[in-house]
């Protein structure tokens, strides 16, 4: 059964109970599996190789998941190339392979609509003045453009006005910030940036300069992962507390998302829990046999999403570790699974005499 | 010449303060000379007595390899009437990710009669430290002190100036490593009479005759042997098979596969330290392979410890789609000769069960494949020998003096 996403957009994003959502996802993801099987030859080859029978799917967690790394190494698309309107790439330092995600008009549009739907449920339906905690060059410099640039562009949907808080050397641009705060005095403002950049170039700078900006009416959305911060032993709770100390901000939402599944992001509630909306879900997999883990059990994060139609990215095995904390019973009131990301899966250390592996993959 | 600043970048492990001019001027010995034999057998005895060394099977294997009786057997195989001497100075570049390989390379250089400068792995392996300290202690002893200009172990980060320096003073340069390492090292020129001996990245496979399996072997024992060939070094040693070729009647093959893989699974489940990241790597590799080729089947297994991909047809280039940590292609061949088109110069070790050596000899003689340098029973792939990758190490690292009476 094909799911009418337009109809789903009329539903509140965290309003379906487990049994309703499960039926919806199973129907929608099975349909996507069939669609990609028919339209994407490499995907079809994979499903044939594992003798997968889509007729026998009884639950969406039985659908094969592709490791995200495959998108770095293969061109995977389920529409004719002529219909590709946008190719998204993941972040990656120079020389590293990047994911290539092919979007047609339909998938690209639905991604934006779903992103709007999810984010609005946290910040309200009004556009807000947006202070970007990053440098303007991030959008100009092709080498830097990618996940960071795409994130900023994506969240710019919610901006009535925009300013970059950093100069191109990642220093605080106090002139811009002062002017921006003066102009939007008394209004709610949206702040957006990448977790590590905010910590390094915003929090630490404010601390050093001893400057206090009143951002008590601010809503901060940040993402990009905690990898660089875990080395400094900063937890999500520390992050909120310390930021509050330097600028009075209280509404802080981390988000979890990836370029391979743009749109259906996971936002953090005031409890510090990431939430799956009705458009997507997480399944934690046991590394030893990839069976679904129990709630509370650590494993590899699989993400499923109803959005990817132009490329076979509806069920993906990430390289993150996480844990589902519960479902339908977060004190914040949102329905659906809520979870925590525990960090990147450690690369397997391989002994032996060949360097071919390292050269190929890392 | 190296400046004092360049010298400061060389970390000398054995001896702590080498005099390179004396080393470069050291006179070579004849192969298997008594001094070297005595030194290596004392090294073996030392390592076998060392309580720390005993915890490392690879150190113990090395110690066994160079124990007195084993050395004598090697010497006997080489003894001839020829007048031979080592070539002089051998500069060894050991691979960075196999801890004990450097010791075999050094031993081969010594047995051939040379002074040896060995660049040891930059990673801090306890095995390397154990062997280095044993070497240091032995070379301090009066009876071996005169050998200290023949055994030099150094460590340095990638540095062309230092590599240039050692290269300019060696008679043979022995390079272990991937294609990139070899290309890097080769940028440093050698004296005109010197040459490189390269041990590049290789590919290995295994063949099992299902018609005689398990026959009189205990399947658990063969599984253990296969485990040592593969999982012991995460299937990343050059000698580890990546393709298992089955010979025999179809029904026998089906039964043999069932017995073989289930026995292997028991061993892996018990012994192998499974890394979650390897499960994702193997899934990625399997799907990448499947995505671009029809005619393959990813076999369903109980878990991710063993990944098997059955091939309907053999295709060239399998050496480029291998993985690690327990990832195998399988193919049912009618006869062993079916694999010939697959074989190229990258192929090193063919391990086997259930095929006699007459048949193996015929296989090589009749098909004259461009690769395969070793044919050994399952369980023996890691055994180091003085003939390696098709080179007679003693012959190559020494020279013949023609004496016409």
Domain presence at residue B16: yes
B271 and B148 in a single domain? The answer is no
CB contact under 8 A, B201 and A354: yes
Judged by CB atoms within 8 Å, which residues 23-82 of B form the interface with A? none
Domain presence at residue B181: yes
A328 min Cα distance to partner chain B (Å): 29
B161 and B216 in a single domain? The answer is no
Give the model's confidence band at B3: pLDDT under 50 very low, under 70 low, under 90 confident, else very high: confident
CB contact under 8 A, B176 and A317: no
* Single pTM value for the model: 0.91
Among the three residues B160, B180, B201, which one is the final residue of a domain in this structure? B201
Alpha carbon distance A165, A134 (integer Å): 6
pLDDT at A248: 92
Give the model's confidence band at B17: pLDDT under 50 very low, under 70 low, under 90 confident, else very high: confident
B83 and B34 in a single domain? The answer is yes
Average pLDDT over residues B173-200: 95
B252 and B306 in a single domain? The answer is yes
Q: In A, which residues are within 8 Å of B290 by CB distance? A: 45-46, 48-50
Name B249's Cβ contacts closer than 8 Å, sequence gap at least 6.
B210, B211
Name A263's Cβ contacts closer than 8 Å, sequence gap at least 6.
A110, A111, A112, A113, A114, A115, A279, A305, A307
The answer, for A212 touching chain B at a CB cutoff of 8 Å, is no
Are A16 and A335 in contact by the 8 Å Cβ rule? The answer is: yes
In this complex, the residue of A49, A289, A354 whose CB is nearest that of residue B290 is A49
Q: Are strands B347-353 and B203-209 parallel, antiparallel or unpaired?
A: parallel
The answer, for B274 touching chain A at a CB cutoff of 8 Å, is yes
Closest to B37 in 3D by CA, of B15, B7, B68, B73: B68
B196 and B209 in a single domain? The answer is no
Q: Which domain CATH number covers B82?
A: 3.40.605.10
Among the three residues B134, B168, B201, which one is the final residue of a domain in this structure? B201
Alpha carbon distance B54, B307 (integer Å): 32
Domain presence at residue B387: no
CB contact under 8 A, B294 and A45: yes
Return the residue in B178, B241, B291 with the most chain A beta carbons within 10 A, the one to mutate for interface testing: B291
**Burial of B370 by CB count in 10 Å (0-12 exposed, 13-18 middle, 19+ buried)?**
exposed
Domain presence at residue B122: yes
Write out the residue range of the structural domain in which residue B212 sits: 203-377
**Could you give the domains of chain A?**
5-361 (3.40.50.12780)
* A28: enclosing H helix or E strand: helix A18-39
Q: Which domain CATH number covers B300?
A: 3.40.309.10
B166 and B228 in a single domain? The answer is no
B228 and B162 in a single domain? The answer is no
pLDDT exceeds cutoff 70 at A352: no
B112 and B214 in a single domain? The answer is no
Domain presence at residue B295: yes
pLDDT at A356: 32
Are B217 and A335 in contact by the 8 Å Cβ rule? The answer is: no
B197 and B271 in a single domain? The answer is no
The answer, for B142 touching chain A at a CB cutoff of 8 Å, is no
CB contact under 8 A, A348 and B290: no
The answer, for A356 touching chain B at a CB cutoff of 8 Å, is yes
Domain presence at residue B384: no
The answer, for B184 touching chain A at a CB cutoff of 8 Å, is no
Average pLDDT over residues A333-337: 97
CB contact under 8 A, A346 and B281: no
Q: In A, which residues are within 8 Å of B297 by CB distance? A: 49-51
Closest to A282 in 3D by CA, of A262, A307, A300: A300
B10 and B112 in a single domain? The answer is yes
Q: What is the DSSP string of B262-318?
A: HHHHHHHHHH----HHHHHHHHHHHHHHHHH-SSEEE---SSSS-EEEEESS--TTG
pLDDT exceeds cutoff 80 at B299: yes
Terminal CA-to-CA distance of chain B, rounded, Å? Answer: 43
CB contact under 8 A, A48 and B294: yes
pLDDT exceeds cutoff 50 at A359: no
Beta-strand runs (E) in A170-314: 189-194, 218-223, 251-256, 266-268, 274-275, 280-285, 299-305
Max Cα distance, chain B (Å): 71
Q: What is the DSSP string of A139-198?
A: HH-TTTTTHHHHHHHHHGGGEEEEEESB-TTS-B-HHHHHHHHHHTTTS-EEEEEEHHHI
pLDDT at A22: 97
Reduced to 3 states (helix: H, G, I; strand: E, B; else coil), residue B84 is: strand
Domain presence at residue B309: yes
B224 and B116 in a single domain? The answer is no
Closest to A106 in 3D by CA, of A307, A313, A314, A312: A307
Q: In A, which residues are within 8 Å of B309 by CB distance? A: 49
B96 and B232 in a single domain? The answer is no
Give the model's confidence band at B122: pLDDT under 50 very low, under 70 low, under 90 confident, else very high: confident
CB contact under 8 A, A51 and B297: yes
What digits encode the pLDDT tens for the residues A271-308?
A: 999 999 999 999 999 999 999 999 999 999 999 999 99
Tell me the pLDDT of chain B averaged across its residues: 94
In this complex, the residue of A49, A69, A346 whose CB is nearest that of residue B284 is A69
Could you give the ipTM of this predicted complex? 0.91
Total domains, chain B: 2
Are B309 and B328 in contact by the 8 Å Cβ rule? The answer is: yes
Alpha carbon distance B240, B232 (integer Å): 9
Residues facing A341 on adjacent strands = A322
pLDDT exceeds cutoff 90 at A157: no
pLDDT exceeds cutoff 90 at A203: yes
Among the three residues B156, B182, B201, which one is the final residue of a domain in this structure? B201
pLDDT exceeds cutoff 60 at A355: no
Average pLDDT over residues B282-308: 94
Give the model's confidence band at B294: pLDDT under 50 very low, under 70 low, under 90 confident, else very high: confident
pLDDT exceeds cutoff 60 at A142: no
pLDDT exceeds cutoff 60 at A360: no
What digits encode the pLDDT tens for the residues B367-387?
A: 999 999 999 999 999 999 999
Quick one: CA dihedral B167, B391, B375, B33, positive or negative? negative
Highest mean pLDDT among A52-61, A86-95, A348-357: A52-61
Domain presence at residue B382: no
What digits encode the pLDDT tens for the residues A23-54?
A: 999 999 999 999 999 999 999 999 999 999 99
Q: Which of B271-287 are b and which e, b meaning 16 or more Cβ less than 10 Å from the residue's Cβ?
A: ebebbbbbbbbbbbbbb
């Amino acid at each position: 059964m094909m799911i009418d996403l337009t109809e789903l957009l009329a539903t509140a994003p965290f309003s379906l109970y487990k049994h309703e959502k499960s039926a919806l996802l199973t129907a929608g993801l099975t349909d996507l599996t069939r669609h990609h099987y028919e339209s994407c030859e490499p995907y079809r080859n994979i499903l044939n190789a594992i003798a997968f029978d889509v007729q026998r799917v009884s639950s969406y967690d039985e659908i094969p998941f592709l490791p995200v790394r495959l998108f770095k190494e293969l061109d995977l698309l389920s529409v004719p190339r002529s219909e590709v309107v946008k190719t998204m790439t993941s972040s990656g330092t120079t020389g590293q392979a990047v994911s290539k995600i092919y979007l047609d008009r339909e998938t690209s549009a639905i991604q934006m609509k779903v992103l709007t739907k999810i984010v609005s449920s946290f910040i309200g339906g009004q556009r807000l003045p947006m202070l970007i905690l990053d440098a303007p060059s991030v959008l100009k410099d092709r080498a830097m453009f990618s996940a960071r640039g795409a994130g900023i562009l994506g969240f710019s949907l919610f901006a009535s006005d925009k300013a970059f808080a950093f100069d191109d050397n990642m220093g605080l641009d106090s002139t811009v910030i002062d002017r921006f705060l003066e102009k939007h005095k008394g209004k709610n403002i949206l702040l957006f940036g990448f977790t590590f950049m905010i910590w390094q170039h915003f929090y630490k700078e404010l601390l050093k300069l001893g400057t206090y900006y009143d951002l008590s009416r601010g809503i901060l959305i940040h993402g990009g992962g905690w990898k660089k911060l875990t080395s400094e032993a900063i937890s999500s709770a520390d992050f909120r507390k310390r930021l509050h100390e330097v600028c009075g901000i209280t509404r802080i939402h981390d988000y979890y998302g990836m370029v391979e599944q743009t749109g259906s992001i996971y936002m953090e509630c005031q409890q510090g829990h990431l939430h799956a909306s009705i458009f997507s879900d997480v399944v934690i997999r046991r590394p030893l046999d990839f069976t679904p883990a129990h709630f509370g059990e650590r494993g590899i994060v699989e993400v499923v999403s109803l959005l990817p139609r132009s490329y076979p990215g509806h069920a993906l095995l990430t390289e993150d570790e996480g844990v589902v904390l519960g479902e339908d019973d977060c004190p914040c009131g949102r329905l659906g699974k809520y979870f925590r990301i525990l960090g990147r899966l450690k690369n397997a250390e391989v002994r032996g005499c060949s360097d071919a592996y390292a050269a190929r993959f890392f | 010449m190296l400046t004092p600043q360049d010298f400061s970048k060389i970390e000398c492990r054995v001896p702590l303060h080498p005099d390179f001019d004396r080393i470069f001027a050291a006179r070579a010995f004849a192969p298997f000379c008594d001094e070297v034999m005595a030194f290596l057998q004392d090294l073996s005895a030392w390592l076998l007595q060392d309580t720390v060394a005993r915890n490392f099977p690879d150190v113990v294997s090395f110690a066994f390899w160079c124990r007195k009786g084993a050395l004598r057997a090697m010497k006997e195989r080489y003894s001839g009437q020829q007048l031979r001497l080592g070539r002089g100075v051998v500069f060894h570049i050991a691979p960075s990710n196999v801890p004990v390989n450097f010791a075999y390379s050094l031993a081969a250089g010594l047995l051939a009669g040379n002074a040896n400068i060995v660049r040891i792995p930059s990673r801090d392996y306890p095995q390397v430290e154990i062997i280095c300290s044993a070497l240091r202690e032995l070379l301090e002893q009066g009876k071996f002190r005169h050998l200290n200009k023949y055994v030099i172990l150094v460590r340095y980060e990638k540095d062309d100036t230092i590599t240039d320096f050692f290269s300019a003073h060696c008679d043979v340069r022995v390079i272990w490593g991937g294609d990139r390492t070899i290309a890097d090292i080769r940028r440093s020129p050698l004296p005109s009479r010197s040459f490189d001996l390269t041990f590049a990245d290789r590919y290995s496979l295994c063949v099992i005759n299902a018609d005689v399996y398990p026959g009189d072997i205990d399947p658990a024992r063969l599984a253990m042997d296969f485990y040592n060939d593969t999982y012991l070094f995460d299937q990343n040693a050059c000698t580890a098979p990546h393709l298992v070729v089955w010979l025999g009647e179809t029904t026998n093959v089906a039964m043999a596969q069932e017995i073989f893989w289930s026995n292997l699974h028991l061993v892996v489940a018990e012994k192998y330290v499974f890394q979650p990241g390897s499960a994702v790597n193997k899934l990625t590799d399997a799907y990448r392979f499947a995505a671009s080729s029809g005619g393959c089947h990813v076999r369903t297994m109980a878990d991710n410890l063993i990944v098997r991909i059955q091939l309907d047809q053999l295709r060239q280039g399998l050496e480029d789609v291998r993985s690690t940590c327990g990832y195998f292609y399988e193919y049912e061949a009618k006869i062993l000769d079916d694999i010939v088109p697959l074989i190229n110069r990258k192929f090193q070790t063919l391990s086997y069960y259930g095929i006699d050596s007459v048949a193996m000899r015929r296989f090589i003689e009749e098909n004259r494949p461009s690769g395969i340098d070793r044919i050994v029973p399952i369980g023996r792939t890691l055994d180091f020998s003085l003939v390696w990758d098709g080179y007679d190490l003693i012959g190559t690292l020494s020279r013949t003096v023609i004496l016409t009476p």
